[in-house]
Structure 1
Amino acid sequence: MKVFIIGVSGAVGGLLARELRDRGDEVSGLVRREEQRADLAARGVDARVGDLASMKAEAMASLFKGMDAVVYTAGSNGGARDVTVAIDGEGVVTALDAASLAGVPRFALVSVLPEAGRGENLSADEEFYFAVKKLVDVTVSMSDLDWLILRPSMLVDDPANGTVALGPAQPHDEIPREDVAATLAELLHETRISRQILELNQGATPIAQAVRAAAPRAFGGGF
């Protein structure tokens, strides 16, 4: 599989690149600086330099040619509103349009659990961040592409467990970034999972088994 990761220099994106490379997949990505490109090249990732916030769909589409999937892992983490709009909002829409222009069939977005931060004293900028995330999820879900939205619980840097809870709805807790990346890699290789929103939390089910269980089942026979 040939996969292009937007956010490949970030924590989840970098871990996903490693997971996919270990599977034998070809990984490309978008970075902002030349030194990032050189560092990723040393790890077998063909990174391209560009500014996500200002790149047009046509220019991005030229980077996506020949890819089997585009994965969007970039995020602002609820900072200033202009950054949230550029990265969590307009950037996703541009990437979605570019994937369509380039003929890339599969588009995966790493989003956020809707109830993340509920009950806490969120700032106005953080509330805005969650609103943008929700609207972008809606936009992706209306796409004609083979889309996937993964909503992980709060990301932590703890060691991977190798086990998760995955399904249409999960409680908000926390999950190691390594487990998110491993789950995402498994999901990209499970072709039965298409046009689904899945939520991800720490749990007791091995990742491969959890992904298989989330795939739609074919039913035969009659009444």
Structure 2
Amino acid sequence: MRIVIAGGHGKIALRLERVLAEQGDEPVGLIRNPAHEQDVRDAGAEAVVCDLETAGVEEVAEHLRGADAAVFAAGAGPGSGAARKDTVDRAAAVLLAEAAERAGVRRFVQISAMGADRPPQPGTDDVWAAYIRAKSDAEDDLRARDLDWTVLRPGALIDDPGTGLVTLAEPPVPRGKVTRDDVAAVIAGLLGTPGTGGRTLELAEGDTPVDEAVRSVAS
């Protein structure tokens, strides 16, 4: 499969690109910074420079044409303010989904976050509240589209080596941490498993092997 990944230089995306390349797929990483091209190539992916904060929908659709799936793995990242939570975590996700529709790419996996289904609590940090609102709005937009979509909400992300053991289910899943390696493995599994579209799933560390966990959520 040819799989286009927005946020192609992100920590989850680079791991996902390696997994996909190792299993014989053709990952394509959309990146904002040309200086990151070599890192993406080293992960086994084609690197395409495309800034989702400035690109138009037709430009993005052109990068998606001929693909079998799209993955939204972009994020404004630590240190960014509330404005970029909206332009990246919401607007860029909406842009990629619209471009996928135009390009005829039906399979779409969107990385969201636990808590996206609940309003921020009073007194929540303004930037965190903006992040949760952006993720929630991006989820709502995706669910309204004619795509074979899956929303994946990981728990707290850590860089420890993957365990290959997770909890994956429709909400609510108890809050917990999860390695980025395991998130990448789950996304690869979702992409390769029929019947996982139209689902909102939460992900944390657990006791179930990734392959078994993905099969258990397939309809």
Aligned to 1:33: 33
- The separation in 1 between residues aligned to 2:164 and 2:67, in whole angstroms, is 28
Task: Tell me how far 1:77 sits from its aligned partner.
Answer: 4.1
Which of 183, 204, 208 is the aligned partner of 2:207?
A: 204
Deviations 1:133-186 (A, max 9, x none): 111111111111100100000000111110000000211110111000001100
Aligned to 2:174: 171
Aligned to 1:57: 57
Q: Which amino acid aligns with 1:210?
A: A
- The separation in 2 between residues aligned to 1:120 and 1:203, in whole angstroms, is 31
- The separation in 2 between residues aligned to 1:178 and 1:120, in whole angstroms, is 33
Q: Which amino acid aligns with 1:69?
A: A
Aligned to 1:213: 216
- The separation in 1 between residues aligned to 2:18 and 2:123, in whole angstroms, is 36
Structure 2 counterparts to residues 148-167 of structure 1, below 5 A: 148-167=150-169
Aligned to 1:183: 186
- The separation in 1 between residues aligned to 2:123 and 2:155, in whole angstroms, is 18
Task: Tell me how far 1:44 sits from its aligned partner.
Answer: 2.8
Aligned to 2:125: 123
Unmatched segments (≥5 aa) in structure 1: 217-223
Q: Specify the structure having the higher radius of gyration (Cα).
A: 1
Structure 2 counterparts to residues 130-145 of structure 1, below 5 A: 130-145=132-147
Matched residue count: 216
Is the Cα–Cα contact under 8 Å of residues 18 and 44 in structure 2 kept in the other structure?
no
Q: Does 1:146 align with 2:142?
A: no
Is the Cα–Cα contact under 8 Å of residues 17 and 44 in structure 2 kept in the other structure?
no
Q: Secondary structure at the match of 1:62?
A: helix
- The separation in 1 between residues aligned to 2:175 and 2:124, in whole angstroms, is 16
Q: Secondary structure at the match of 2:24?
A: coil
| Greater displacement, 204-213 / 50-59 | 50-59
| Greater displacement, 73-82 / 170-179 | 73-82
- The separation in 1 between residues aligned to 2:115 and 2:178, in whole angstroms, is 16
Q: Which amino acid aligns with 1:171?
A: P
Aligned to 1:104: 105
Q: Secondary structure at the match of 1:47?
A: strand
Aligned to 2:92: 91
Alignment CA distance shift 1:119-1:135 (3 Å): closer
Task: Tell me how far 1:119 sits from its aligned partner.
Answer: 7.7
- The separation in 2 between residues aligned to 1:120 and 1:165, in whole angstroms, is 29
TM-score (norm 2): 0.93
- The separation in 2 between residues aligned to 1:34 and 1:183, in whole angstroms, is 28
Task: Tell me how far 1:120 sits from its aligned partner.
Answer: 10
Unmatched segments (≥5 aa) in structure 2: none
Alignment CA distance shift 1:156-1:121 (3 Å): farther
Task: Tell me how far 1:40 sits from its aligned partner.
Answer: 2.1
Moved over 3 A (4+): 118-122
Q: Secondary structure at the match of 1:5?
A: strand
